[in-house]
Amino acid sequence: MNISLLGKNALVGGSSKGIGEAIARQLASSGANVTLMARNETNMKAIVSELSLDQGQKHQYLVVDFSNFEAFKKAITTFFEQNTIDILVNNTQGPQAGGALEKKVEDYQKAFDFLFKSVVLTTELALKGMQKKKWGRIINVASISVKEPLNYLALSNSIRAAVVTWAKSLAFDVAKDGITVNNVLTGYFDTDRIAQLNVTKAEKMGITPGEVRLSMEAQVPMKRIGRPEEYGFLVAFLASQQSAYITGTNIPIDGGLLKSF
């Protein structure tokens, strides 16, 4: 199966590193014109210069801060006044770690703004062009914790679950327009985010981050942490014409870690 995204315009959130970067690179390799979207302009500028141009694509980047909703709203609204996209990958940085008893109402509100409101707003703006074309792909980067909550990620558990259920409702409403909406439930991947969480866990447990990682690997049936490029392969498929009959789903990519189904 040859996945071609030639002529498609993609917007990828959180794409200055990690999973978002891997997704952007794979979409570009598949022929899409890619717009990176994140805070780190230096990283994005470097990545854009490295993205595939083999099929005559044009790539760009958009500097945004998901944690400042009003500033984000202004930036993303301006972007869509000048651009239309076919593929939207909703991906933001994760909220701070911590259990339910450690977090206050204000923490949940902040997490709601950058994990939920930013996703809904970006999708709302992207849908206008997709509905006119009668074609679109919306892919939300979520977490396996929406099915099996991780007690040290109370904010992520709660708000990402809201994104997933909202996406299911949206999928029903836009299916008639040839637009699919799917959630990818992320397991353990070799990213800076995992490394940072491991440092926090190690401090609480009185062990080293390396020991935390070994414990994580042992939990995964495949006995390893995922590679970001493997994530990119899945998203490229979900962005393609070949996935046209897949919508409203939650697809785990976790090496078999989830015990539920």
Catalytic residue of the set 61, 108, 152, 231: 152
What tens digit of pLDDT does each residue of 130-142 get?
999 999 999 999 9
DSSP state of 242: G
Among this protein's residues, is 152 annotated catalytic? yes
Q: Which residue has the higher pLDDT, 218 or 198?
A: 218
Which distant-in-sequence residues (6+ apart) come within 8 Å of 242 by Cβ? 1, 3
Helices (H), 105-242: 105-112, 118-133, 154-174, 192-205, 209-219, 228-238
Q: What is the mean pLDDT of residues 175-180?
A: 98
Which of the four pLDDT bands, split at 50, 70 and 90, describes residue 220? very high
pLDDT band at 193 (very low <50, low <70, confident <90, very high): confident
pLDDT of 97 reads 83
| pLDDT range class, residue 153, cuts 50, 70, 90 | confident
- Phi, then psi, of 47 in degrees rounded to 5: -65, -45
The gap from C-alpha 50 to its chain's centroid, in whole angstroms, comes to: 21
Mean pLDDT score across all residues of the chain = 95
Q: Which pLDDT tens digit goes with each residue over 67-118?
A: 999 999 999 999 999 999 999 999 998 788 888 989 999 999 999 998 999 9
The Cα–Cα gap between 160 and 66 comes to: 15
pLDDT given for residue 168 in this prediction: 97
For residue 115 the two structure tokens come to: 């994990």
The confidence score (pLDDT) of residue 93 equals: 81
**Mean pLDDT score, 5-27:** 97
Say what the pLDDT of residue 194 is: 86
Q: Is the pLDDT of residue 261 over 80?
A: no
What is the pLDDT at residue 260?
85
* pLDDT of 25 above 80: yes
Tokens (6 digits) for 29: 């390799």
Q: Compute the distance between CA of residue 25 and CA of residue 228 in angstroms, rounded to an integer.
A: 10
Is the model's pLDDT at 190 over the cut of 80? yes
Domains along the chain? 9-187+227-253 (3.40.50.720), 191-225 (no CATH)
Q: For residue 204, what pLDDT is reported? A: 84
- Residues of 161-179 as b/e, b for ≥16 C-beta within 10 angstroms? bbbbebbbebbeebeeeeb
pLDDT for residue 9: 98
3-state secondary structure of 231: helix
Q: 33-42 pLDDT, tens per residue?
A: 999 999 999 9
